Structure 1
Amino acid sequence: MKVLRASLGVDKHSTAKDDVISNMKKVDVMDKYLATLGKKVKGNEVRKAVKEIFGIDLHLISKEDIGTTVSAYDPAVMETLRLYLKLDKNDTNRDTDIMNMSKNDVMDSYSKMYEHKLSGKDLRVLINHIYGVNLDGISSLEHARLSINSKGQWIVKSDLDLIILTSSRDDVEVFVAPTDYYVEITGSTYLPDSLIEKLSSMGFTYDKTTNSYYYVNPIGESIPDAFKGQTIGAIVGTLATEFPPN
């Protein structure tokens, strides 16, 4: 907050602009904060910023080796890491070594190849590729009334949220269920029919035990971003139609 206040032209101890800061999108807060750190921003500084701004612990994801489960990272990431290992960008002989690196080391090695001068936007893309955390998407859901629990952490959460989306620690499975608040205001334990229809068409199955609709990626890898986006889009679209904001 001290850094952000100063960036807005007020004393770092003044709360005069705190309402402006609190209404900023989290990605904008991240960009403004990183810009104050100088031209070079190292991985540990980025991870600290993500934890402070979004409440997401990337270090924990790396330490426990959870999050994205894939046979290889995005091609651009793999090519850069091969160059870091003094290989040709198309030489796959040490890809196993790359995939055995901690996620933090992958991020730091990639960033080092760009002299730690990646923009906030580029860093968010990188974080999504490595950790499976879509910060841009999360920032856009701040008032969507959708709770998200992923990789053992709350990504987005409010007491007034109506739907909860939970993914397994490796993102291979995803579950959609009503929140207690939804049950309270609707008197029903079932999701809206329109959402059930959308989820069913996407391959979700109802689990009576947990009263949730779930999907498991049949190839055993983390669910692709496109499918995650389609799922979230179906939920947010349904909430906007069935429960329009006052």
Structure 2
Amino acid sequence: MFNWFKKKRKGSMTIIITVLSLTIIGACTVGTDEAEAKSWESEMNQTKDLKFSPEATVRLYIQLCKEEKEWIPFSDALEKIDALSKVEAMDLYLESYYKKVNPRDIRDIVNGVYGIDLEAVSELGAGKQTSTYPDEVLGMVRQALDEEVSDEAISKMEKVEVMDLYWEAFDGEMSGDDIRKMINAIFGINLAGISGLEGTGVALFSKEQWISHYKNDLFVVHTGADDVDVWVYPTDHFKKQTGLEGNPRELEVALSALGFEYSEEKEALYYANPTGESVPDNFKGQTLGTIIGVIKENYEGLN
């Protein structure tokens, strides 16, 4: 699911963990044997299927130790980390920074917690259509540039550049909510909503990457590069559990009320916004809510 191994980073994860381990020893141990404090590193290396990236997990561990003002056994901390929602993990991760986070930090945090590569979205030119940037985004970009720039000129900027300028113009330190609002406005990625998908049985593939994906998901909501169209189809797990090869009738009926129709080309239920613009957040929410409702009513326990 995660993308942090796709790009080469400066230095290895081993170096990162070693440096951060020294931070833990310095900040979190009170009268604790240094060897005992370091043992978390070997525990982490033996842990499979971390919920978040290794670097994010270390950062979250550091912050938990800081809050407790003492060293916490890694296994105990990992239970707390696994219980965090993605929004909670993101906010805790942000608290681990001693200074105001910069845009690159924010993109790393989003990748580490959500497994979403915002730089890849920007490079693809995917996500929310630039022609539909809200006035707030346009205003923040102009404020950062301190000049009158046309909507067209802003629409031609890479999304990461728009994000950098938005951050530069922001008055004060950004909270987690502020950051999530910014990312949704620029990239069309609703991090708060995505956090709520865990355990629902609905996977989301968008911007040419998995946005939310768990092994027991039952249906996939797949959007085009600019979020103009959406298609819905069952996962292999659903097919195996039910013996069905396509979407169940009850889901077809429920989504038809939102304008979805069966597409032979996609072999899925399909909807395209007739305006040619990115589908709005409320439509995405209705679609996800409808699918989750069908799962709860008919397929509870399969996910």
| TM-score for the superposition, normalised by structure 1 | 0.92
Amino acid at match of 2:151: D
Amino acid at match of 1:75: D
Give the distance between the partners of 1:224 and 1:105, measured in 2 at CA: 23
Greater Cα shift, 78-87 or 121-130: 78-87
Query: Which residue in 2 is equivalent to 1:14?
Result: 74
Q: How does 1:172-191 map to 2 (within 5 A)?
A: 172-191=228-247
| Runs of 4+ off more than 6 Å | none
Partner SS, residue 66 of structure 1: coil
Q: How does 1:198-237 map to 2 (within 5 A)?
A: 198-237=254-293
Query: Which residue in 2 is equivalent to 1:31?
Result: 91
Q: CA separation of 1:117/1:236 partners in 2, compared to 1, >3 Å: closer, same or farther?
A: same
Query: Which residue in 2 is equivalent to 1:165?
Result: 221
Identity between Structure 1 and Structure 2 (%): 37
Give the distance between the partners of 1:149 and 1:216, measured in 2 at CA: 16
Query: Which residue in 1 is equivalent to 2:150?
Result: 94
Amino acid at match of 2:268: S
Partner SS, residue 76 of structure 2: coil
Matched, 1:51 2:111: yes
Give the conservation status (yes or no) of the 8 Å contact 1:81–1:106.
yes
Which protein is richer in helix relative to its size? 2
Give the conservation status (yes or no) of the 8 Å contact 2:107–2:117.
yes
Matched, 1:84 2:140: no
Deviation of the 1:6 alpha carbon: 2.3
Give the distance between the partners of 2:114 and 2:297, measured in 1 at CA: 28
Deviation of the 1:70 alpha carbon: 4.1
Give the conservation status (yes or no) of the 8 Å contact 2:132–2:277.
no
Give the conservation status (yes or no) of the 8 Å contact 1:167–1:174.
yes
Give the conservation status (yes or no) of the 8 Å contact 1:3–1:12.
no
Query: Which residue in 1 is equivalent to 2:173?
Result: 117
Partner SS, residue 80 of structure 2: helix
Matched, 1:195 2:251: yes
Cα RMSD after superposing both structures: 1.8
Q: CA separation of 1:209/1:66 partners in 2, compared to 1, >3 Å: closer, same or farther?
A: closer
Query: Which residue in 2 is equivalent to 1:108?
Result: 164
Query: Which residue in 2 is equivalent to 1:60?
Result: 120
In structure 1, stretches of 5+ residues that fail to align are none
Amino acid at match of 1:221: E
Greater Cα shift, 210-219 or 45-54: 210-219
Amino acid at match of 2:164: D
- 1:35-77: per-residue Cα shift (whole Å, max 9, x none)? 1213511100000010111000001111121111141311211
Give the distance between the partners of 1:237 and 1:70, measured in 2 at CA: 32
Give the distance between the partners of 2:132 and 2:217, measured in 1 at CA: 35
Deviation of the 1:134 alpha carbon: 0.8
Amino acid at match of 1:183: K
Give the conservation status (yes or no) of the 8 Å contact 1:163–1:177.
yes
Give the conservation status (yes or no) of the 8 Å contact 1:30–1:120.
yes
Partner SS, residue 149 of structure 1: strand
Give the conservation status (yes or no) of the 8 Å contact 2:145–2:165.
no
How many correspondences in the alignment?
Answer: 242
Give the distance between the partners of 1:79 and 1:159, measured in 2 at CA: 42
Deviation of the 1:242 alpha carbon: 0.7
Deviation of the 1:205 alpha carbon: 1.3
In structure 2, stretches of 5+ residues that fail to align are 1-56
Give the conservation status (yes or no) of the 8 Å contact 2:141–2:162.
yes
Give the conservation status (yes or no) of the 8 Å contact 1:68–1:222.
yes
- 1:112-150: per-residue Cα shift (whole Å, max 9, x none)? 112561111110011011011111011000111111111
